[in-house]
Structure 1
Amino acid sequence: MAVYAHDDIDWAERLRSLRMAEALDAEPTRVAARRLLEGLPEAPTIVDVGCGAGGMGVLFAEELAVAGAKFVLVDATEHLLTEARQVVVAAAGDKAIVETVHADVADKGLPDKLPPADLVWASRVVHHLPDQQAALDTLTRLARPGGMVAIAEGGLDFNCLPWDLGIGRPGLEGRLLAGRSEWFAEMRAGLPGAVSMPYGWNTGLQQAGLDAVDSFGVLIHHPSPGPELLREFVIERVSWFADVAGDWLASDDRETVAALLDPANPAFLGARQDLFLLGVKTIHCGRRRE
Protein backbone atom coordinates (compact mmCIF):
# COMPACT_ATOMS: atom_id res chain seq x y z
CA MET A 1 0.00 0.00 0.00
CA ALA A 2 1.36 3.45 -0.91
CA VAL A 3 1.89 5.79 2.03
CA TYR A 4 1.85 9.49 1.23
CA ALA A 5 3.25 12.38 3.21
CA HIS A 6 1.72 15.82 3.65
CA ASP A 7 2.87 16.67 0.13
CA ASP A 8 1.14 13.59 -1.41
CA ILE A 9 4.51 12.21 -2.49
CA ASP A 10 4.99 8.47 -2.07
CA TRP A 11 8.49 8.60 -0.62
CA ALA A 12 8.77 4.83 -0.38
CA GLU A 13 8.27 4.74 -4.16
CA ARG A 14 11.16 7.17 -4.50
CA LEU A 15 13.59 5.02 -2.51
CA ARG A 16 15.79 4.35 -5.55
CA SER A 17 16.17 8.07 -6.22
CA LEU A 18 16.95 8.72 -2.57
CA ARG A 19 19.65 6.06 -2.60
CA MET A 20 21.26 7.49 -5.74
CA ALA A 21 21.24 11.03 -4.34
CA GLU A 22 22.82 9.82 -1.09
CA ALA A 23 25.58 8.02 -2.99
CA LEU A 24 26.39 11.09 -5.08
CA ASP A 25 26.27 13.43 -2.08
CA ALA A 26 28.09 11.18 0.37
CA GLU A 27 31.64 12.52 0.39
CA PRO A 28 30.89 16.27 0.51
CA THR A 29 28.06 15.66 2.99
CA ARG A 30 30.48 13.67 5.16
CA VAL A 31 32.33 16.94 5.78
CA ALA A 32 29.09 18.45 7.07
CA ALA A 33 28.46 15.44 9.31
CA ARG A 34 31.95 15.74 10.77
CA ARG A 35 31.41 19.44 11.46
CA LEU A 36 28.07 18.86 13.20
CA LEU A 37 29.56 16.17 15.44
CA GLU A 38 32.27 18.49 16.76
CA GLY A 39 31.80 19.30 20.43
CA LEU A 40 29.18 16.63 21.11
CA PRO A 41 29.47 14.44 24.22
CA GLU A 42 31.59 11.31 23.90
CA ALA A 43 28.56 9.03 23.45
CA PRO A 44 25.85 11.33 22.09
CA THR A 45 22.20 10.76 21.27
CA ILE A 46 21.47 11.74 17.68
CA VAL A 47 17.90 12.03 16.40
CA ASP A 48 17.44 11.98 12.61
CA VAL A 49 13.96 13.29 11.82
CA GLY A 50 12.66 12.39 8.37
CA CYS A 51 15.58 10.01 8.02
CA GLY A 52 14.56 8.86 4.54
CA ALA A 53 16.84 6.10 3.29
CA GLY A 54 19.32 6.67 6.15
CA GLY A 55 22.19 8.30 4.27
CA MET A 56 23.09 10.92 6.87
CA GLY A 57 22.66 8.41 9.68
CA VAL A 58 25.27 6.23 8.00
CA LEU A 59 27.70 9.15 7.81
CA PHE A 60 27.12 10.06 11.46
CA ALA A 61 27.68 6.43 12.48
CA GLU A 62 30.86 6.09 10.43
CA GLU A 63 32.31 9.37 11.65
CA LEU A 64 31.40 8.85 15.30
CA ALA A 65 32.63 5.26 15.67
CA VAL A 66 32.46 5.27 19.49
CA ALA A 67 30.79 2.89 21.89
CA GLY A 68 27.58 3.96 23.58
CA ALA A 69 26.23 6.36 20.98
CA LYS A 70 22.50 6.22 20.26
CA PHE A 71 20.88 6.87 16.88
CA VAL A 72 17.13 7.41 16.78
CA LEU A 73 15.68 7.32 13.26
CA VAL A 74 12.29 8.97 12.80
CA ASP A 75 10.13 8.87 9.69
CA ALA A 76 6.47 8.85 8.75
CA THR A 77 7.05 6.14 6.11
CA GLU A 78 7.58 2.70 7.66
CA HIS A 79 9.27 1.24 4.59
CA LEU A 80 11.92 3.96 4.67
CA LEU A 81 12.44 3.38 8.40
CA THR A 82 13.17 -0.28 7.74
CA GLU A 83 15.62 0.56 4.97
CA ALA A 84 17.32 3.26 7.05
CA ARG A 85 17.71 1.00 10.06
CA GLN A 86 19.45 -1.67 7.98
CA VAL A 87 22.11 0.67 6.60
CA VAL A 88 22.71 2.57 9.84
CA VAL A 89 23.03 -0.65 11.87
CA ALA A 90 25.53 -1.94 9.29
CA ALA A 91 27.54 1.28 9.61
CA ALA A 92 27.39 1.46 13.41
CA GLY A 93 28.09 -2.23 14.03
CA ASP A 94 27.97 -3.18 17.71
CA LYS A 95 29.29 0.19 18.87
CA ALA A 96 25.97 2.02 18.92
CA ILE A 97 22.30 1.60 19.67
CA VAL A 98 19.98 2.18 16.70
CA GLU A 99 16.28 2.74 17.31
CA THR A 100 13.43 3.61 14.96
CA VAL A 101 10.30 5.61 15.67
CA HIS A 102 7.39 5.73 13.23
CA ALA A 103 6.19 9.30 13.69
CA ASP A 104 5.50 12.62 11.99
CA VAL A 105 7.42 15.79 12.79
CA ALA A 106 4.12 17.64 12.45
CA ASP A 107 3.04 15.82 15.63
CA LYS A 108 3.54 18.36 18.43
CA GLY A 109 3.67 15.45 20.87
CA LEU A 110 6.79 14.05 19.18
CA PRO A 111 9.17 15.20 21.97
CA ASP A 112 7.35 12.93 24.41
CA LYS A 113 8.16 9.92 22.21
CA LEU A 114 11.90 10.51 21.89
CA PRO A 115 14.91 10.81 24.21
CA PRO A 116 16.49 14.28 24.61
CA ALA A 117 19.04 14.66 21.82
CA ASP A 118 22.51 16.11 21.70
CA LEU A 119 22.01 16.58 17.96
CA VAL A 120 18.74 16.81 16.05
CA TRP A 121 19.07 16.49 12.27
CA ALA A 122 16.36 17.06 9.64
CA SER A 123 17.25 17.16 5.95
CA ARG A 124 14.78 18.72 3.51
CA VAL A 125 11.83 17.81 5.71
CA VAL A 126 10.46 21.03 7.13
CA HIS A 127 9.56 22.68 3.82
CA HIS A 128 7.12 19.84 3.09
CA LEU A 129 5.09 20.50 6.26
CA PRO A 130 2.01 22.76 6.53
CA ASP A 131 3.37 24.86 9.42
CA GLN A 132 7.12 25.16 8.99
CA GLN A 133 7.66 27.33 12.07
CA ALA A 134 5.72 24.87 14.24
CA ALA A 135 7.95 22.09 12.87
CA LEU A 136 11.08 24.07 13.79
CA ASP A 137 9.62 24.60 17.26
CA THR A 138 9.11 20.84 17.61
CA LEU A 139 12.63 20.05 16.41
CA THR A 140 14.01 22.46 19.00
CA ARG A 141 12.05 20.72 21.75
CA LEU A 142 13.71 17.44 20.76
CA ALA A 143 17.12 18.78 21.75
CA ARG A 144 18.35 18.80 25.30
CA PRO A 145 19.32 22.27 26.68
CA GLY A 146 22.54 23.20 24.91
CA GLY A 147 21.95 20.54 22.27
CA MET A 148 22.25 21.30 18.57
CA VAL A 149 19.50 21.42 15.96
CA ALA A 150 20.58 21.30 12.31
CA ILE A 151 18.42 21.37 9.18
CA ALA A 152 19.32 21.10 5.51
CA GLU A 153 17.05 23.51 3.65
CA GLY A 154 17.45 25.88 0.74
CA GLY A 155 20.76 26.22 -1.04
CA LEU A 156 21.33 26.51 -4.77
CA ASP A 157 19.29 24.40 -7.21
CA PHE A 158 21.15 21.49 -8.73
CA ASN A 159 21.90 21.66 -12.43
CA CYS A 160 22.83 18.67 -14.55
CA LEU A 161 22.07 19.43 -18.24
CA PRO A 162 23.96 21.39 -20.90
CA TRP A 163 22.14 24.58 -21.90
CA ASP A 164 21.83 23.42 -25.52
CA LEU A 165 20.93 19.74 -25.75
CA GLY A 166 20.76 19.66 -29.53
CA ILE A 167 17.03 18.99 -29.35
CA GLY A 168 14.24 21.42 -28.59
CA ARG A 169 14.76 24.95 -27.35
CA PRO A 170 17.93 25.66 -25.35
CA GLY A 171 17.51 26.31 -21.64
CA LEU A 172 15.20 23.37 -20.90
CA GLU A 173 16.57 22.81 -17.40
CA GLY A 174 15.75 26.36 -16.35
CA ARG A 175 12.15 25.86 -17.44
CA LEU A 176 11.96 22.52 -15.63
CA LEU A 177 13.17 24.19 -12.45
CA ALA A 178 10.71 27.05 -12.90
CA GLY A 179 7.88 24.56 -13.42
CA ARG A 180 8.95 22.65 -10.32
CA SER A 181 8.80 25.91 -8.34
CA GLU A 182 5.27 26.57 -9.58
CA TRP A 183 4.24 23.04 -8.62
CA PHE A 184 5.79 23.43 -5.18
CA ALA A 185 4.03 26.75 -4.54
CA GLU A 186 0.71 25.21 -5.53
CA MET A 187 1.39 22.11 -3.44
CA ARG A 188 2.19 24.19 -0.36
CA ALA A 189 -0.87 26.38 -0.84
CA GLY A 190 -3.03 23.26 -0.95
CA LEU A 191 -1.71 21.69 2.24
CA PRO A 192 -4.45 21.51 4.89
CA GLY A 193 -3.63 24.07 7.57
CA ALA A 194 -0.82 25.63 5.53
CA VAL A 195 0.83 28.59 7.25
CA SER A 196 3.23 30.93 5.47
CA MET A 197 6.72 31.51 6.85
CA PRO A 198 7.72 34.83 5.26
CA TYR A 199 11.29 34.88 6.55
CA GLY A 200 14.50 32.89 6.24
CA TRP A 201 15.50 29.70 7.97
CA ASN A 202 17.90 31.47 10.32
CA THR A 203 15.07 33.65 11.62
CA GLY A 204 12.84 30.60 11.98
CA LEU A 205 15.47 28.82 14.08
CA GLN A 206 15.94 31.88 16.27
CA GLN A 207 12.19 32.15 16.82
CA ALA A 208 12.15 28.44 17.74
CA GLY A 209 14.50 29.15 20.64
CA LEU A 210 17.97 28.52 19.26
CA ASP A 211 21.08 30.57 19.98
CA ALA A 212 24.31 30.87 17.99
CA VAL A 213 22.40 30.26 14.76
CA ASP A 214 24.73 29.78 11.82
CA SER A 215 24.71 28.32 8.32
CA PHE A 216 27.20 26.80 5.92
CA GLY A 217 27.15 25.39 2.43
CA VAL A 218 28.10 22.00 1.03
CA LEU A 219 29.18 21.96 -2.61
CA ILE A 220 28.02 18.94 -4.61
CA HIS A 221 29.98 18.73 -7.86
CA HIS A 222 30.32 15.82 -10.24
CA PRO A 223 31.81 17.08 -13.50
CA SER A 224 31.20 15.45 -16.87
CA PRO A 225 31.26 12.67 -17.84
CA GLY A 226 30.81 11.31 -14.32
CA PRO A 227 30.00 7.73 -13.30
CA GLU A 228 27.14 5.67 -14.69
CA LEU A 229 25.25 6.37 -11.47
CA LEU A 230 25.23 10.06 -12.39
CA ARG A 231 23.48 9.39 -15.69
CA GLU A 232 20.92 7.20 -13.94
CA PHE A 233 20.30 9.92 -11.39
CA VAL A 234 19.87 12.60 -14.05
CA ILE A 235 17.33 10.45 -15.89
CA GLU A 236 15.39 9.95 -12.65
CA ARG A 237 15.60 13.66 -11.86
CA VAL A 238 14.38 14.83 -15.28
CA SER A 239 11.58 12.25 -15.18
CA TRP A 240 10.51 13.48 -11.75
CA PHE A 241 10.59 17.11 -12.83
CA ALA A 242 8.54 16.28 -15.90
CA ASP A 243 5.94 14.58 -13.70
CA VAL A 244 5.53 17.45 -11.26
CA ALA A 245 6.20 20.35 -13.66
CA GLY A 246 4.44 19.00 -16.75
CA ASP A 247 1.42 21.27 -16.39
CA TRP A 248 3.70 24.32 -16.51
CA LEU A 249 5.71 23.20 -19.54
CA ALA A 250 4.94 24.14 -23.13
CA SER A 251 4.01 21.27 -25.43
CA ASP A 252 7.33 21.40 -27.27
CA ASP A 253 9.23 21.06 -23.99
CA ARG A 254 7.13 18.07 -23.04
CA GLU A 255 8.00 16.48 -26.37
CA THR A 256 11.69 17.21 -25.80
CA VAL A 257 11.60 15.62 -22.35
CA ALA A 258 9.86 12.53 -23.75
CA ALA A 259 12.65 12.14 -26.32
CA LEU A 260 15.37 12.63 -23.70
CA LEU A 261 13.87 9.88 -21.54
CA ASP A 262 13.31 7.38 -24.37
CA PRO A 263 16.13 4.79 -24.56
CA ALA A 264 15.25 4.17 -28.23
CA ASN A 265 15.67 7.84 -29.13
CA PRO A 266 19.07 9.16 -30.34
CA ALA A 267 18.67 12.03 -27.83
CA PHE A 268 18.39 9.66 -24.83
CA LEU A 269 20.09 11.18 -21.79
CA GLY A 270 21.63 7.85 -20.82
CA ALA A 271 23.80 7.92 -23.95
CA ARG A 272 25.29 11.36 -23.23
CA GLN A 273 28.77 11.97 -21.84
CA ASP A 274 28.23 15.63 -20.95
CA LEU A 275 25.88 15.34 -17.98
CA PHE A 276 27.05 16.72 -14.65
CA LEU A 277 25.78 17.59 -11.19
CA LEU A 278 26.42 20.95 -9.58
CA GLY A 279 24.65 22.57 -6.66
CA VAL A 280 24.91 23.61 -3.03
CA LYS A 281 23.14 22.31 0.05
CA THR A 282 22.74 24.79 2.88
CA ILE A 283 22.75 23.63 6.49
CA HIS A 284 21.36 25.90 9.20
CA CYS A 285 22.08 25.12 12.84
CA GLY A 286 21.91 26.48 16.35
CA ARG A 287 21.85 25.41 19.99
CA ARG A 288 18.84 25.17 22.24
CA ARG A 289 18.90 27.76 24.97
CA GLU A 290 20.02 26.47 28.36
Structure 2
Amino acid sequence: MVEIEWGEWAGHLRESAANEADWNAAVAAGLVRDSDMVAVDVGCGGGGMAKALAAAMPSGTTVVAIDADPDVLEQAREHTAGAVRCELASMDDGAEPLRKAIDAPADLIWASASVHHAADQQAAIDALASLLAPGGRLALAESGLPARSLPWDLGIGEPGLELRLDLAQDKWFAAMRDSLPGTVPMPYGWTDALTRAGLVEVGTRSVLTESSAPLGAEQQERVVTQFQHRVERLKPETGEHGQGHGHGHGHIEYQEWLSAEDLAVWEQLLDPEGEHYLGRRTDLAVLSVRSIHIGHAPR
Protein backbone atom coordinates (compact mmCIF):
# COMPACT_ATOMS: atom_id res chain seq x y z
CA MET A 1 0.00 0.00 0.00
CA VAL A 2 1.24 3.49 -0.84
CA GLU A 3 0.06 6.66 0.88
CA ILE A 4 -0.01 9.80 -1.22
CA GLU A 5 1.44 12.68 0.79
CA TRP A 6 1.03 15.76 -1.34
CA GLY A 7 2.89 17.90 1.13
CA GLU A 8 6.04 16.09 0.01
CA TRP A 9 5.43 17.46 -3.49
CA ALA A 10 4.86 21.04 -2.39
CA GLY A 11 8.28 22.17 -3.57
CA HIS A 12 7.80 20.57 -6.97
CA LEU A 13 4.42 22.26 -7.34
CA ARG A 14 6.02 25.61 -6.50
CA GLU A 15 8.67 24.91 -9.17
CA SER A 16 5.99 24.08 -11.72
CA ALA A 17 4.16 27.30 -10.88
CA ALA A 18 7.28 29.28 -11.69
CA ASN A 19 8.04 27.32 -14.87
CA GLU A 20 4.51 27.77 -16.23
CA ALA A 21 4.29 31.50 -15.54
CA ASP A 22 4.03 32.46 -19.22
CA TRP A 23 1.34 29.86 -19.94
CA ASN A 24 -0.65 30.89 -16.87
CA ALA A 25 -0.41 34.57 -17.77
CA ALA A 26 -1.64 33.98 -21.32
CA VAL A 27 -4.57 31.83 -20.18
CA ALA A 28 -5.53 34.20 -17.37
CA ALA A 29 -5.58 37.14 -19.77
CA GLY A 30 -8.06 35.26 -21.97
CA LEU A 31 -10.33 34.32 -19.08
CA VAL A 32 -10.59 37.49 -17.01
CA ARG A 33 -13.26 40.09 -17.81
CA ASP A 34 -13.12 43.78 -16.96
CA SER A 35 -16.23 43.36 -14.82
CA ASP A 36 -14.82 40.53 -12.70
CA MET A 37 -14.56 41.27 -8.99
CA VAL A 38 -13.71 37.86 -7.49
CA ALA A 39 -11.55 35.11 -9.02
CA VAL A 40 -10.66 31.82 -7.35
CA ASP A 41 -8.04 29.13 -7.98
CA VAL A 42 -9.27 25.89 -6.38
CA GLY A 43 -6.60 23.26 -5.90
CA CYS A 44 -4.05 26.00 -6.44
CA GLY A 45 -0.88 23.95 -6.06
CA GLY A 46 2.11 26.27 -6.12
CA GLY A 47 -0.12 29.28 -6.83
CA GLY A 48 0.90 29.83 -10.43
CA MET A 49 -2.54 30.56 -11.86
CA ALA A 50 -3.63 32.47 -8.75
CA LYS A 51 -0.68 34.79 -9.26
CA ALA A 52 -1.50 35.17 -12.95
CA LEU A 53 -5.15 35.92 -12.18
CA ALA A 54 -4.12 38.58 -9.69
CA ALA A 55 -2.02 40.25 -12.38
CA ALA A 56 -4.84 40.07 -14.95
CA MET A 57 -7.71 41.21 -12.70
CA PRO A 58 -8.76 44.87 -12.51
CA SER A 59 -7.42 46.83 -9.54
CA GLY A 60 -9.37 46.63 -6.31
CA THR A 61 -10.57 43.08 -6.95
CA THR A 62 -10.05 39.83 -5.03
CA VAL A 63 -8.23 36.62 -5.91
CA VAL A 64 -8.46 33.62 -3.58
CA ALA A 65 -6.16 30.59 -3.76
CA ILE A 66 -7.55 27.43 -2.15
CA ASP A 67 -5.84 24.11 -1.48
CA ALA A 68 -6.48 21.17 0.83
CA ASP A 69 -2.86 20.62 1.85
CA PRO A 70 -1.29 23.13 4.27
CA ASP A 71 2.27 22.59 2.99
CA VAL A 72 1.16 23.12 -0.59
CA LEU A 73 -0.81 26.21 0.43
CA GLU A 74 2.24 27.64 2.17
CA GLN A 75 4.21 27.34 -1.07
CA ALA A 76 1.38 29.14 -2.88
CA ARG A 77 1.39 31.86 -0.23
CA GLU A 78 5.11 32.43 -0.70
CA HIS A 79 4.88 32.32 -4.49
CA THR A 80 2.03 34.82 -4.70
CA ALA A 81 3.74 37.15 -2.19
CA GLY A 82 0.60 38.75 -0.79
CA ALA A 83 -1.11 39.30 -4.13
CA VAL A 84 -3.86 36.79 -3.30
CA ARG A 85 -5.67 35.50 -0.24
CA CYS A 86 -4.78 31.86 0.54
CA GLU A 87 -7.34 29.60 2.22
CA LEU A 88 -7.31 25.96 3.34
CA ALA A 89 -10.33 23.94 2.13
CA SER A 90 -11.14 20.74 0.26
CA MET A 91 -13.61 20.05 -2.55
CA ASP A 92 -14.32 16.68 -0.93
CA ASP A 93 -16.03 18.51 1.95
CA GLY A 94 -18.68 20.07 -0.28
CA ALA A 95 -19.56 23.65 -1.10
CA GLU A 96 -19.83 25.26 2.34
CA PRO A 97 -16.13 25.27 3.33
CA LEU A 98 -15.32 26.65 -0.11
CA ARG A 99 -18.05 29.27 0.19
CA LYS A 100 -16.67 30.41 3.56
CA ALA A 101 -13.15 30.54 2.14
CA ILE A 102 -14.21 32.70 -0.80
CA ASP A 103 -16.70 34.82 1.19
CA ALA A 104 -18.43 36.18 -1.94
CA PRO A 105 -19.95 34.85 -5.17
CA ALA A 106 -17.15 34.20 -7.66
CA ASP A 107 -17.02 35.65 -11.17
CA LEU A 108 -14.35 33.15 -12.23
CA ILE A 109 -13.33 29.82 -10.70
CA TRP A 110 -10.27 28.03 -12.07
CA ALA A 111 -9.48 24.40 -11.20
CA SER A 112 -6.51 22.74 -12.89
CA ALA A 113 -5.82 19.01 -12.54
CA SER A 114 -7.55 19.04 -9.16
CA VAL A 115 -11.15 17.92 -9.69
CA HIS A 116 -9.95 14.53 -10.93
CA HIS A 117 -8.61 13.90 -7.40
CA ALA A 118 -12.02 14.41 -5.80
CA ALA A 119 -13.69 11.15 -4.81
CA ASP A 120 -16.94 12.30 -6.44
CA GLN A 121 -15.93 14.49 -9.37
CA GLN A 122 -19.48 15.45 -10.33
CA ALA A 123 -20.27 16.46 -6.75
CA ALA A 124 -17.10 18.59 -6.72
CA ILE A 125 -18.13 20.31 -9.95
CA ASP A 126 -21.64 20.85 -8.59
CA ALA A 127 -20.13 22.47 -5.50
CA LEU A 128 -17.88 24.75 -7.54
CA ALA A 129 -20.74 25.76 -9.83
CA SER A 130 -22.86 26.72 -6.82
CA LEU A 131 -20.25 29.30 -5.83
CA LEU A 132 -20.55 31.31 -9.05
CA ALA A 133 -22.18 34.70 -9.34
CA PRO A 134 -24.80 35.01 -12.11
CA GLY A 135 -22.91 34.84 -15.39
CA GLY A 136 -19.76 33.63 -13.62
CA ARG A 137 -17.52 31.05 -15.25
CA LEU A 138 -16.10 27.75 -14.05
CA ALA A 139 -12.96 26.75 -15.98
CA LEU A 140 -11.63 23.21 -15.56
CA ALA A 141 -8.15 22.55 -16.96
CA GLU A 142 -8.42 18.82 -17.45
CA SER A 143 -7.17 16.43 -20.13
CA GLY A 144 -5.90 17.44 -23.56
CA LEU A 145 -3.28 15.48 -25.47
CA PRO A 146 -0.18 13.78 -24.00
CA ALA A 147 2.92 15.93 -24.25
CA ARG A 148 5.62 14.83 -26.68
CA SER A 149 9.32 15.61 -26.29
CA LEU A 150 11.25 12.55 -27.48
CA PRO A 151 11.86 10.99 -30.88
CA TRP A 152 10.19 7.60 -31.31
CA ASP A 153 13.52 5.77 -31.61
CA LEU A 154 16.15 6.88 -29.10
CA GLY A 155 18.80 4.38 -30.13
CA ILE A 156 18.46 2.61 -26.79
CA GLY A 157 15.75 0.23 -25.67
CA GLU A 158 12.56 -0.55 -27.56
CA PRO A 159 11.20 2.36 -29.66
CA GLY A 160 8.10 4.11 -28.33
CA LEU A 161 9.43 4.67 -24.80
CA GLU A 162 7.50 7.91 -24.25
CA LEU A 163 4.24 6.28 -25.36
CA ARG A 164 4.72 3.50 -22.79
CA LEU A 165 5.41 6.08 -20.08
CA ASP A 166 2.04 7.66 -20.88
CA LEU A 167 0.37 4.25 -20.69
CA ALA A 168 1.98 3.52 -17.32
CA GLN A 169 0.70 6.84 -15.95
CA ASP A 170 -2.77 6.10 -17.27
CA LYS A 171 -2.82 2.73 -15.48
CA TRP A 172 -1.62 4.36 -12.28
CA PHE A 173 -4.27 7.04 -12.58
CA ALA A 174 -7.04 4.46 -12.96
CA ALA A 175 -5.79 2.63 -9.87
CA MET A 176 -5.58 5.92 -7.96
CA ARG A 177 -9.18 6.74 -8.80
CA ASP A 178 -10.30 3.25 -7.73
CA SER A 179 -8.47 3.58 -4.41
CA LEU A 180 -10.05 6.87 -3.29
CA PRO A 181 -12.38 6.36 -0.31
CA GLY A 182 -15.96 6.72 -1.52
CA THR A 183 -14.89 7.00 -5.16
CA VAL A 184 -17.71 7.55 -7.64
CA PRO A 185 -17.27 6.84 -11.37
CA MET A 186 -17.85 9.67 -13.84
CA PRO A 187 -18.39 7.82 -17.13
CA TYR A 188 -18.81 10.94 -19.26
CA GLY A 189 -16.77 13.93 -20.32
CA TRP A 190 -16.01 17.22 -18.61
CA THR A 191 -18.43 19.23 -20.74
CA ASP A 192 -21.26 16.88 -19.78
CA ALA A 193 -20.25 17.26 -16.13
CA LEU A 194 -20.43 21.06 -16.39
CA THR A 195 -23.86 20.83 -18.04
CA ARG A 196 -25.13 18.45 -15.34
CA ALA A 197 -24.01 21.04 -12.78
CA GLY A 198 -26.53 23.48 -14.30
CA LEU A 199 -24.04 25.58 -16.28
CA VAL A 200 -24.77 26.89 -19.75
CA GLU A 201 -22.77 27.92 -22.83
CA VAL A 202 -20.44 25.04 -22.10
CA GLY A 203 -17.45 24.57 -24.37
CA THR A 204 -13.78 23.70 -24.58
CA ARG A 205 -10.74 25.68 -25.65
CA SER A 206 -7.37 24.00 -26.05
CA VAL A 207 -3.98 25.66 -25.78
CA LEU A 208 -1.08 24.45 -27.92
CA THR A 209 2.45 24.82 -26.58
CA GLU A 210 5.27 24.10 -29.01
CA SER A 211 9.04 24.59 -28.94
CA SER A 212 11.02 22.93 -31.71
CA ALA A 213 14.43 21.31 -31.37
CA PRO A 214 17.04 22.20 -30.42
CA LEU A 215 15.78 23.59 -27.13
CA GLY A 216 17.60 26.24 -25.15
CA ALA A 217 19.62 25.05 -22.17
CA GLU A 218 17.03 26.12 -19.58
CA GLN A 219 14.11 24.52 -21.38
CA GLN A 220 16.15 21.37 -22.09
CA GLU A 221 16.87 21.04 -18.37
CA ARG A 222 13.20 21.58 -17.60
CA VAL A 223 12.14 18.77 -19.95
CA VAL A 224 14.67 16.39 -18.42
CA THR A 225 13.54 17.32 -14.91
CA GLN A 226 9.92 16.64 -15.85
CA PHE A 227 10.86 13.17 -17.07
CA GLN A 228 12.78 12.58 -13.83
CA HIS A 229 9.68 13.40 -11.78
CA ARG A 230 7.42 11.27 -13.96
CA VAL A 231 9.66 8.21 -13.80
CA GLU A 232 10.38 8.55 -10.08
CA ARG A 233 6.66 8.60 -9.33
CA LEU A 234 6.22 5.29 -11.13
CA LYS A 235 9.09 3.44 -9.49
CA PRO A 236 8.26 0.58 -7.09
CA GLU A 237 9.68 2.36 -4.04
CA THR A 238 7.45 5.43 -4.46
CA GLY A 239 4.38 4.38 -6.42
CA GLU A 240 3.46 8.03 -6.89
CA HIS A 241 1.76 9.32 -9.98
CA GLY A 242 2.30 12.02 -12.56
CA GLN A 243 -1.03 13.66 -13.32
CA GLY A 244 -1.34 16.92 -11.54
CA HIS A 245 -1.58 17.17 -7.74
CA GLY A 246 -4.12 15.74 -5.36
CA HIS A 247 -6.24 16.98 -2.55
CA GLY A 248 -6.31 14.24 0.01
CA HIS A 249 -4.72 10.94 0.83
CA GLY A 250 -5.30 7.48 -0.54
CA HIS A 251 -3.62 4.17 -1.09
CA ILE A 252 -2.92 2.03 -4.12
CA GLU A 253 -1.57 -1.48 -4.41
CA TYR A 254 1.83 -1.49 -6.09
CA GLN A 255 2.07 -3.10 -9.49
CA GLU A 256 4.65 -2.90 -12.24
CA TRP A 257 3.70 0.34 -13.92
CA LEU A 258 6.91 0.38 -15.97
CA SER A 259 8.64 -2.76 -17.16
CA ALA A 260 12.07 -3.53 -15.76
CA GLU A 261 13.48 -3.07 -19.25
CA ASP A 262 11.98 0.40 -19.68
CA LEU A 263 13.01 1.40 -16.16
CA ALA A 264 16.60 0.44 -16.93
CA VAL A 265 16.49 2.55 -20.10
CA TRP A 266 15.11 5.55 -18.21
CA GLU A 267 17.90 5.24 -15.66
CA GLN A 268 20.43 5.55 -18.46
CA LEU A 269 18.61 8.42 -20.14
CA LEU A 270 18.41 10.37 -16.89
CA ASP A 271 21.97 9.73 -15.72
CA PRO A 272 24.00 12.94 -16.29
CA GLU A 273 27.20 10.87 -16.38
CA GLY A 274 25.87 8.31 -18.85
CA GLU A 275 26.43 8.29 -22.60
CA HIS A 276 22.69 8.34 -23.31
CA TYR A 277 21.81 11.30 -21.07
CA LEU A 278 18.82 13.21 -22.45
CA GLY A 279 20.33 16.52 -21.44
CA ARG A 280 22.93 16.23 -24.17
CA ARG A 281 20.56 15.40 -27.02
CA THR A 282 19.79 17.99 -29.68
CA ASP A 283 16.45 16.52 -30.78
CA LEU A 284 14.29 17.11 -27.70
CA ALA A 285 11.24 19.29 -28.35
CA VAL A 286 8.06 20.39 -26.59
CA LEU A 287 4.60 19.76 -28.01
CA SER A 288 1.55 19.72 -25.76
CA VAL A 289 -2.15 20.52 -25.89
CA ARG A 290 -3.99 21.34 -22.67
CA SER A 291 -7.78 21.63 -22.68
CA ILE A 292 -9.86 24.06 -20.64
CA HIS A 293 -13.57 23.26 -20.26
CA ILE A 294 -15.70 26.29 -19.42
CA GLY A 295 -19.29 26.64 -18.26
CA HIS A 296 -21.27 29.77 -17.38
CA ALA A 297 -23.72 30.22 -14.53
CA PRO A 298 -27.16 31.29 -15.77
CA ARG A 299 -27.89 35.00 -15.36
Q: Provide the TM-score with structure 2 as the length reference.
A: 0.85
Give how far 1:287 is off: 1.3
Which one-letter code corresponds to 1:62 in the other structure? A
The answer on whether the counterparts of 1:183 and 1:244 sit within 8 Å (CA) in structure 2 is no
Which one-letter code corresponds to 2:179 in the other structure? G
The answer on whether the counterparts of 1:215 and 1:283 sit within 8 Å (CA) in structure 2 is yes
Structure 2 gaps, min length 5: 236-255
Give how far 1:81 is off: 1.7
Structure 1 gaps, min length 5: 1-6, 93-97
Give how far 1:139 is off: 0.8
Q: Choose which of 139, 160, 165 in structure 1 pairs with 2:128.
A: 139
The answer on whether the counterparts of 2:14 and 2:45 sit within 8 Å (CA) in structure 1 is no
1:1-290 map, 5 Å: 8-38=3-33, 40-41=35-36, 44-64=37-57, 66-89=58-81, 92=83, 98-108=84-94, 109-113=96-100, 114-115=102-103, 116-246=105-235, 247-290=256-299
Counterpart CA distance in 1 for 2:76 and 2:212 is 29
- Counterpart secondary structure, 1:153: strand
Residues 165-174 or 235-244, more deviating: 235-244
Q: Provide the TM-score with structure 1 as the length reference.
A: 0.87
Counterpart CA distance in 2 for 1:40 and 1:8 is 43
| Deviation per residue, 1:75-116 (Å, 9 max, x gap) | 0122222222233246x4xxxxx3111111111132441222
The answer on whether the counterparts of 1:235 and 1:269 sit within 8 Å (CA) in structure 2 is yes
Give how far 1:117 is off: 0.9
| Deviation per residue, 1:139-173 (Å, 9 max, x gap) | 11121222111110011111111211121111100
- Counterpart secondary structure, 1:14: helix
Work out the percentage of aligned pairs sharing the same amino acid.
Answer: 41
Q: Aligned-pair RMSD on alpha carbons?
A: 2.0
Residues 66-75 or 103-112, more deviating: 103-112
The answer on whether the counterparts of 1:17 and 1:236 sit within 8 Å (CA) in structure 2 is no
Give how far 1:16 is off: 4.5
Which one-letter code corresponds to 1:124 in the other structure? A
Counterpart CA distance in 2 for 1:194 and 1:188 is 7
The answer on whether the counterparts of 1:29 and 1:218 sit within 8 Å (CA) in structure 2 is no
Which one-letter code corresponds to 1:101 in the other structure? E
Which one-letter code corresponds to 1:139 in the other structure? L
The alpha-carbon distance between structure 1 residues 29 and 245, as it changes in their structure 2 partners (threshold 3 A), is same
Residues 248-257 or 175-184, more deviating: 248-257
- Counterpart secondary structure, 1:120: strand
Comparing both chains, which one has the higher relative contact order based on Cα–Cα distances under 8 Å and sequence gaps of 6 or more? 2
The answer on whether the counterparts of 2:16 and 2:46 sit within 8 Å (CA) in structure 1 is no
Counterpart CA distance in 2 for 1:159 and 1:11 is 26
